[in-house]
Amino acid sequence: MEFFSKADLIGTLPLLVVFGCSLLLLLLDALFKDAKKLVFSVGIIGMLTAIGCSLYTFPLSATAFSDMVLVGGYASFFNILFLTIGIIVFLLSYSYLEKQHYHLKEFYTLIVISISGMMLMASSADLIIIFLGIEIMSVCFYVLAGYKRIKVEGNEAALKYFLLGAFATGFLLYGIALIYGTMGTTNLIRISQNFDAFSHPLYLAGWGLLLIGFSFKIAAVPFHMWAPDVYEGSLTTVTALMSTGGKAAAFSSFILAFSIPLSMHNEKLMMVIAILSAASMLIGNVFGLAQKNIKRMLAYSSIAHAGYMLVGLASGTKLGMDGIIFYLISYSLTNLGAFGIISIFEKENGGNLSYEDYAGLGSRKPILAALLSLCMFSLVGIPPFAGFIGKYYLFASAVQSNLTWLAIIGVMTSLVSTYYYLRIVVYMYFRESQQSELIFVPSLALASVVLVSIGIFIFGIFPSLILNVIQNLL
Amino acid sequence: MLTYLLFSPFIGILLLFFINKEKLSLIKWIGVGTSLISFVISLALYFQFDAANTQMQFVQQVQWISALDISYYVGVDGLSILLIVLTTFLTPIALIGSWDSITVRLKEYVMFMLLLEVGMLGVFLSVDLFLFYVFWEAMLIPMYFIIGIWGGKEKIYAATKFFIYTMAGSLLMLIAILWLGYYASTLPDGMFTTNLQKLYAIAPSIPMNIQLWLFLAFALSFAIKVPLFPLHTWLPDAHVQAPTAGSVILAGVLLKMGTYGLLRFCLPLFPDASLQCASYISTLAVIGIVYGALVAMVQTDIKKLVAYSSVSHLGFVVLGIFSMTEEGIQGGIIQMINHGLSTGALFLLVGMIYDRRHTREISAYGGIAKQVPLFATFFLIVTFSSIGLPGLNGFVGEFLILFGSFQSRILGNYIYAIIAASGVIFAAVYMLWMYQRVFFGKLTNPENQSLTDLTKREIGVLIPLIIFIVWLGVYPKPFLNLSAETTKQLVKKIEQVKSGNVTLGQ
Measured between beta carbons, the chain B residues lying within 8 angstroms of A400 are 182, 185, 192
Instruction: Report the residue from B137, B144, B181 with minimal CB separation from A396.
Output: B181
Instruction: Report the residue from A384, A392, A415 with minimal CB separation from B167.
Output: A415
- CB of B179 within 8 Å of a chain A CB? The answer is yes
Q: What is the DSSP string of B337-386?
A: HHHHHHHHHHHHHHHHHHHHHS--BGGG--STTTT-HHHHHHHHHHHHHH
**Cross-chain residue pair B141–A382, CB shorter than 8 Å:** yes
Amino acid B395: pLDDT? 84
Render pLDDT for A194-220 as a digit per residue (tens, 0 to 9).
Answer: 777 777 888 888 888 999 999 999 999
Contact B364, B298 (CB under 8 A): no
Give CA–CA dist B498/B82, Å, rounded. 29
**Cross-chain residue pair A467–B156, CB shorter than 8 Å:** no
Give the three-state DSSP class for A384.
coil
Give CA–CA dist A98/A102, Å, rounded. 6
Amino acid A247: pLDDT? 93
Give B432→chain A minimum CA distance, Å: 37
- CB of B216 within 8 Å of a chain A CB? The answer is no
* Residue (of A109, A38, A49) closest to A79 by Cα position: A49
- CB of A23 within 8 Å of a chain B CB? The answer is no
Amino acid A453: pLDDT? 92
Band of residue B502 on the pLDDT scale cut at 50, 70, 90: very low
Number of A/B CB contacts below 8 angstroms equals 86
What is the residue-averaged pLDDT of chain A?
88
Residue A163: how many other CB atoms lie within 10 Å: 12
Q: What mean pLDDT comes out for the span B254-277?
A: 87
Measured between beta carbons, the chain B residues lying within 8 angstroms of A419 are 160, 164
Q: For residue B243, report the phi and psi dihedrals to the nearest 5 degrees.
A: -70, 165
Give CA–CA dist A183/A198, Å, rounded. 8
DSSP code for A104? -
Question: Which range in A80-84, A222-226, B245-249, B370-374 is most confidently predicted, on average pLDDT?
Answer: A80-84
Measured between beta carbons, the chain A residues lying within 8 angstroms of B138 are 382-384
Band of residue B506 on the pLDDT scale cut at 50, 70, 90: very low
Give CA–CA dist A176/A117, Å, rounded. 18
Q: Which domain holds residue B485?
A: 2-505
Give CA–CA dist B204/A321, Å, rounded. 31
* Residue (of A71, A74, A9) closest to A328 by Cα position: A74
Q: What mean pLDDT comes out for the span A386-405?
A: 89
Name which residue leads in pLDDT, A350 or A121: A121
Give the three-state DSSP class for B298.
coil
- CB of B16 within 8 Å of a chain A CB? The answer is no
- CB of B242 within 8 Å of a chain A CB? The answer is no
Give CA–CA dist A257/A247, Å, rounded. 15
DSSP β-ladder status, B70-76 and B57-65: antiparallel
**Cross-chain residue pair A383–B138, CB shorter than 8 Å:** yes
In this structure, of A143-152, B141-150, B196-205, the range with the lowest mean pLDDT score is B196-205
State the complex-level ipTM. 0.86
Band of residue A83 on the pLDDT scale cut at 50, 70, 90: very high
Measured between beta carbons, the chain A residues lying within 8 angstroms of B156 are 426, 430-431
- CB of A457 within 8 Å of a chain B CB? The answer is no
Cis, bond preceding B230 (omega within 30 deg of 0)? yes
**Cross-chain residue pair A464–B65, CB shorter than 8 Å:** yes
- CB of A431 within 8 Å of a chain B CB? The answer is yes
Q: What is the DSSP string of B482-499?
A: HHHHHHHHHHHHHHHHHH
Q: What letter represents residue B81's amino acid?
A: I
Instruction: Report the residue from B130, B175, B185 with minimal CB separation from A411.
Output: B175
Band of residue A90 on the pLDDT scale cut at 50, 70, 90: very high
Contact B236, B304 (CB under 8 A): yes
Q: What mean pLDDT comes out for the span A368-383?
A: 90
Instruction: Report the residue from A384, A400, A467 with minimal CB separation from B67.
Output: A467
Residue B505 has pLDDT above 50, yes or no: no
Give CA–CA dist B399/B316, Å, rounded. 10
**Planar angle of CA A26, A28, A31, nearest 5 degrees:** 110
Give the chain B residue whose CA is nearest to the CA of A405. B175
- CB of B165 within 8 Å of a chain A CB? The answer is no
Measured between beta carbons, the chain B residues lying within 8 angstroms of A467 are 65, 67
Give CA–CA dist A432/A373, Å, rounded. 17
Contact B194, B177 (CB under 8 A): yes
Measured between beta carbons, the chain A residues lying within 8 angstroms of B67 are 319, 322, 467, 471
Helices marked H in B18-139 — which ranges?
24-48, 81-97, 106-125, 129-138
Residue B271 has pLDDT above 80, yes or no: yes
Give the chain B residue whose CA is nearest to the CA of A432. B149
CA distances from A436 to A60, A368, B1, B129 (A): 55, 16, 49, 47
- CB of A90 within 8 Å of a chain B CB? The answer is no
Provide the angle, in degrees to the nearest 10, between the axes of the packed helices A13-31 and A106-122: 160
Amino acid A274: pLDDT? 92
Burial annotation B273-294 (CB, 10 A radius, 16+ → b, else e): bbbebbeebbbbbbebbbbbbe
- CB of A384 within 8 Å of a chain B CB? The answer is yes
- CB of B167 within 8 Å of a chain A CB? The answer is yes
**Cross-chain residue pair B159–A430, CB shorter than 8 Å:** yes
Q: What letter represents residue B451's amino acid?
A: L
Give CB contacts under 8 A, 24+ apart, made by A251-254. A251/A218, A251/A309, A251/A324, A251/A328, A252/A74, A252/A78, A252/A118, A252/A121, A252/A122, A252/A328, A253/A121, A253/A122, A253/A124, A253/A130, A253/A133, A253/A134, A253/A214, A254/A214, A254/A217, A254/A218, A254/A313
- CB of B218 within 8 Å of a chain A CB? The answer is no
**Domain residue extents for chain A:** 265-474
Measured between beta carbons, the chain A residues lying within 8 angstroms of B192 are 396, 400
**Cross-chain residue pair A464–B137, CB shorter than 8 Å:** no
- CB of B99 within 8 Å of a chain A CB? The answer is no
Measured between beta carbons, the chain A residues lying within 8 angstroms of B141 are 377, 382
Amino acid B504: pLDDT? 40
Q: What mean pLDDT comes out for the span A416-441?
A: 83
- CB of A471 within 8 Å of a chain B CB? The answer is yes
Band of residue A1 on the pLDDT scale cut at 50, 70, 90: low
Instruction: Report the residue from A382, A399, A407 with minimal CB separation from B140.
Output: A382
- CB of B433 within 8 Å of a chain A CB? The answer is no
- What's the total number of domains in chain B? 1
Band of residue B200 on the pLDDT scale cut at 50, 70, 90: confident
Cα dihedral angle (A299, A304, A305, A310), rounded to 10 degrees? Answer: 130
Measured between beta carbons, the chain A residues lying within 8 angstroms of B178 are 392, 395-396, 399, 407
Instruction: Report the residue from A383, A404, A430 with minimal CB separation from B134.
Output: A383
**Cross-chain residue pair A464–B181, CB shorter than 8 Å:** no
Amino acid A250: pLDDT? 93
Name which residue leads in pLDDT, A139 or B21: A139
Instruction: Report the residue from B66, B67, B178 with minimal CB separation from A399.
Output: B178
Give CA–CA dist A341/B366, Å, rounded. 53
* Residue (of B297, B451, B289) closest to B370 by Cα position: B451
- CB of B65 within 8 Å of a chain A CB? The answer is yes
- CB of B64 within 8 Å of a chain A CB? The answer is yes
Choosing among A317, A321, A411, A464, which should be mutated to test the B contact, i.e. which has the most B CBs within 10 A? A411
**Cross-chain residue pair B163–A392, CB shorter than 8 Å:** no
Choosing among B128, B150, B182, B213, which should be mutated to test the A contact, i.e. which has the most A CBs within 10 A? B182
CA distances from A286 to A235, A276, A301, A415, B249 (A): 25, 15, 9, 10, 34
Helices marked H in B226-371 — which ranges?
234-241, 244-249, 255-261, 267-269, 271-297, 302-323, 326-357
Amino acid A230: pLDDT? 92
Choosing among B72, B135, B167, which should be mutated to test the A contact, i.e. which has the most A CBs within 10 A? B167
Render pLDDT for B100-127 as a digit per residue (tens, 0 to 9).
Answer: 777 778 888 888 888 898 999 999 988 8
In this structure, of A189-203, A391-405, B41-55, the range with the lowest mean pLDDT score is A189-203
Q: What letter represents residue B225's amino acid?
A: K
Measured between beta carbons, the chain B residues lying within 8 angstroms of A431 are 156
Q: What mean pLDDT comes out for the span B419-436?
A: 86
Measured between beta carbons, the chain B residues lying within 8 angstroms of A412 are 171
- CB of A395 within 8 Å of a chain B CB? The answer is yes
Helices marked H in B358-474 — which ranges?
373-387, 393-407, 415-439, 456-474
